[in-house]
Amino acid sequence: MARPLHSTDSATAWQKLQAAFHATNSPAYRWIEATVWLLIVASLVLFWVDLDHTQHGTVPPTWLEQLDTALLWVFVVEISLRILTFSPPELRFHKLGAGSLVRAHVVGRLRYCTDPFVLIDIITVLALHPALRGLRALRLLRVARSLRRSPWTVPLQGIIQSVRDNRLLYRVAFSLVGVATGLGGLSLYLIEGPSNDGIKTLGDAMWWSIVTITTVGYGDISPVTGLGKVVAAALMLLGMITLALFAGIVGNTLLQSVMRIREEWTRMSTAMNHVVVCGYDPGARMLLDAILAEVDPARSELYVFAPGPRPADVPADYRWIEGDPTKESELDKARITHADAVLVVGARTLSPQDADARTILTTFTLRAYERRNPVTPPRARPLYVISEILDAENVAHARAAGADEVIETTRIGFSLLSHAIVQRGTADVLSTITAAGAHSLYVGNIPDTLTVPATYAEMASAIKAQSGALLIGIHHPKRTDPDQINPPDDTIVSVDKQLIYLAESAVLEAPERT
């Protein structure tokens, strides 16, 4: 805060005034923001009424102009108090002498005025001039700035933040334009002021200079002397350089803005029941192709959520979201709370232990985020998390972190390889079963048409006769017991069990996730 000027009472009042204009969590600030919103709406309504009178050639009532002017002066007072009560950070950080203290106050407030949102508010004050009344529409951006938590204002805030990030570049560019315009206009005025009928004042020369340096060239004023033409030629060349500089700065700003808006697309969208793949390595293209063979992208949107820019080999059916899935603050980018399933992929570029540690952390983060951000109305079924583990020792840890299923890809692959040495042909059979488009493994509910409890032999015979599927085991959904593959014929299948079967497609009702 700024130092008290006189007494303790004045210091307290000053601090309250600062809080009212800058402490976003204070009641006074919220009250002022709400009042400003109402005044902005009232000002725009008055403007449109005035515009309607202008279009119909009628004179607006005197009270309308007086009320409009009064509102504009309220905005002038509001922005003036906001600038006056701004406390530059140097005041809280440094011990300053009298001269440095004055400089910090002045420079800090000038820097504050260059903030894009504050600059917009300052520009709208020019609406006090009747010919510039339309500028007050820019105050609608003030409302957008205040709605910081609304996802629909995030893109605008992203553009403003990009301008802030390039503030130094804009200062350099505008300084270059200002210096070049001033030198060019002053030089032409001194050279041709007495002899050029188009240049009667220094303002005329400055107008010619800015028109020339921006390569607009209206032609209303032109140099007539040789030396004046040399100045014009130098200004034209400088204008080309300036335009190139501005093009680079604006292009960089827009690129940053577009990237921020793209990051917010999913957060702002109504995406629901989508599938998110967390993590991606250069060799994971085969995984994405396999998912496309199992999941119809027309019914369930597919996302890849991973650090870095989108690789060229990611299929067009996937939407790429750049971010770190281990950070809870970034999960909303992929709208995780509304996803149907998340597949956490192990990082092949790391050691198995490090890759599994990242997978377990991601799984834990997903579950923690889900608990802290419940959906209203509640979900019909919970988020389903599938985690890939590279080291068998970490399977229990992944389940403890919240994974519904844990896939040990390395152990499964090595087991197939070693088993094929003795039982030749089994690897081909299992490859066929796991591939989409052929006979595959499914888990389904016991059909309502069957009587339960029943023996495994009776159940297998009934399933074969009813759907042609081959029953190969019993699944325990509560995981109280391990799944049973090809159990004895007299094993009792109770109503709380599910069936593991082999078929060309899913022929039994899929179980609901709980």
Helices (H), 56-129: 62-84, 89-93, 98-113, 116-124
Which pTM value belongs to this model?
Answer: 0.56
Residue 257 and residue 226 share a domain: yes
Of 208, 238, 264, the residue that ends a domain is: 264
Residue 39 near residue 79 (C-beta atoms within 8 A): no
Token pair of 451, please?
A: 């009587």
> What whole-number distance in Å separates Cα of residue 188 and Cα of residue 205?
6
| Domain contains 138 | yes
pLDDT at 263 (0 to 100): 60
Residue 3, classified by CB atoms within 10 Å of its CB into exposed (0-12), middle (13-18) or buried (19+), is: exposed
> What whole-number distance in Å separates Cα of residue 357 and Cα of residue 189?
72
| Domain contains 425 | no
pLDDT at 141 (0 to 100): 64
pLDDT at 440 (0 to 100): 82
CATH of the domain at 301: 3.40.50.720
Residue 396 and residue 304 share a domain: yes
Counting the structural domains of the chain, the total is 4
Residue 202 and residue 240 share a domain: yes
Residue 192 near residue 199 (C-beta atoms within 8 A): yes
| Domain contains 158 | no
Token pair of 510, please?
A: 């899929």
Of 413, 428, 461, the residue that ends a domain is: 413
pLDDT at 142 (0 to 100): 61
Bridge pairing between strands 275-278 and 454-455: unpaired
| Domain contains 157 | no
> What whole-number distance in Å separates Cα of residue 340 and Cα of residue 278?
13
pLDDT at 156 (0 to 100): 61
CATH of the domain at 486: 3.30.70.1450
Residue 357 and residue 288 share a domain: yes
Residue 103 and residue 21 share a domain: yes
Residue 288 and residue 248 share a domain: no
Of 114, 146, 178, the residue that ends a domain is: 146
| Domain contains 426 | no
Nearest to 211 by CA among 231, 194, 230, 235: 235
CA distances from 48 to 43, 44, 133, 137 (A): 9, 6, 10, 10
| Domain contains 421 | no
Residue 475 and residue 401 share a domain: no
Residue 285 and residue 237 share a domain: no
pLDDT at 500 (0 to 100): 92
Residue 276 and residue 407 share a domain: yes
Name the DSSP letter for residue 215.
T
| Domain contains 154 | no
Q: Which helix (H) or strand (E) holds 140?
A: helix 140-146
Residue 409 and residue 453 share a domain: no
| Domain contains 420 | no
pLDDT at 464 (0 to 100): 92
- For residue 334, what are the domain limits? 272-413
Mean pLDDT by 10 residues, the chain (514 residues): 42 79 83 84 80 79 82 87 87 80 87 80 76 66 56 60 74 83 89 83 89 82 87 86 80 69 61 91 86 85 90 89 90 89 92 94 95 86 92 93 92 85 84 72 89 91 91 85 89 91 87 68
CATH of the domain at 222: 1.10.287.70
Helices (H), 344-408: 352-372, 395-401
Backbone angles phi, psi at 442, to 5 degrees: -140, 155
Residue 51 and residue 20 share a domain: yes
Cis peptide leading into residue 453 (ω within 30°): yes
Residue 297 and residue 260 share a domain: no
